[in-house]
Amino acid sequence: MNFLFVVPKFAGAGEYYSFPIGLAYIVSYMRHKGFNVFCLNSCHSDDPIEQQLRKCIEDKHIDVVCTGSMSSYWNEVNEVVETAKRINPQIITVVGGALITSGPKLALENMKIDYGVIGEGEITMTELAGALTSNGDMGKVKGLIFHDKADGFTVTAPREVILDLDSLPFPDYEGLEFSTWLSARWLKQPMLGGLLFDIDDRKNFYEILTSRSCPFNCTFCYHPLGQKYRQRSLDNVF
């Protein structure tokens, strides 16, 4: 099977946005496990999302479209899912990220999502890919939500957090076009009427996760609820 990971259209070509480092980690992990993974960063083209998706799906013979983000980008994620299903109604859609983790049933009730990945995605997405490839039992894959035959939802057992962050390969910068992201010049401020600010003088840098979760206990945040703060070792980072 061929898997396509799509960065939703957070910005237009040349505009700055937060690089989807989480998606890059999952892409890297799946490639290390031997799956056929392709990437589409829709932010780096001004072509309509349908045109970009159609070309990738048809040229690469994509079977599964994967995407995700925070809840604040609901519309952008939904656009990817809706467009993929419109291009090929038989295509399998998978969504992860905080959008799913914070409200899995809400997302599946309102989007054309086949599978939602709850929590950290590297192992769950890889096991889901294996089950899809071998026609395995999805109920045995931890950290999933999907529609069942009774018009309800199946939520599988929770996925344990990854304790050893050093075991994760480094993110796939090339697949998600990190070098193009580094060349972004304009920062758009929607609250200021969409004004663009020149950020061309910023220094180039690379993103990497040195830890996951949070050691603090803010009442307005979901991280303290059962999450365990973990760090990469300094030798692994440097």
Which residue range(s) make up the domain with 35? 2-170
Domain count, the chain: 1
* Chain Cα centroid distance, residue 178: 15
Let me know how many helices (H) and strands (E) the chain has, helices first. Answer: 8, 11
Determine the straight-line distance between the first and last CA of the chain, rounded to whole angstroms: 35
- Residue 81 identity: V
For residue 201, is pLDDT > 60? no
Query: Tell me: the pLDDT tens digits for 18-28?
Result: 788 889 999 99
Position 57 in a domain: yes
pLDDT band at 162, cuts 50/70/90? confident
Query: Tell me: the pLDDT tens digits for 112-154?
Result: 999 999 989 999 999 999 999 999 999 999 999 999 877 789 9
Q: How many CB atoms lie within 10 A of CB 219?
A: 5
Q: How many CB atoms lie within 10 A of CB 207?
A: 13
Phi and psi at 162, nearest 5°, equal -80, 110
pLDDT confidence of residue 191: 45
> What is the DSSP-derived secondary structure letter of residue 224?
T
Burial of 209 (0-12, 13-18, 19+ CB in 10 A): middle
For residue 14, is pLDDT > 80? no
Which residue is listed with tokens 């990738």? 56
Position 197 in a domain: no
- Residue 234 identity: L
Position 123 in a domain: yes
Position 236 in a domain: no
Position 163 in a domain: yes
CATH number at residue 29: 3.40.50.280
Position 183 in a domain: no
Look at 49-53, 88-92, 113-117, 176-180 and tell me which has the smallest mean pLDDT: 176-180
pTM: 0.84
Give the C-alpha distances (Å, rounded to integers) separating 55 from 61, 79, 92.
10, 16, 17
Position 158 in a domain: yes
pLDDT band at 192, cuts 50/70/90? very low
Position 24 in a domain: yes
Query: Tell me: the pLDDT tens digits for 202-233?
Result: 556 666 777 777 777 777 776 655 567 788 88
Residues 6 or more apart from 108 whose CB is under 8 A from it? Answer: 116, 145, 146, 147, 153
Phi and psi at 149, nearest 5°, equal -70, -15
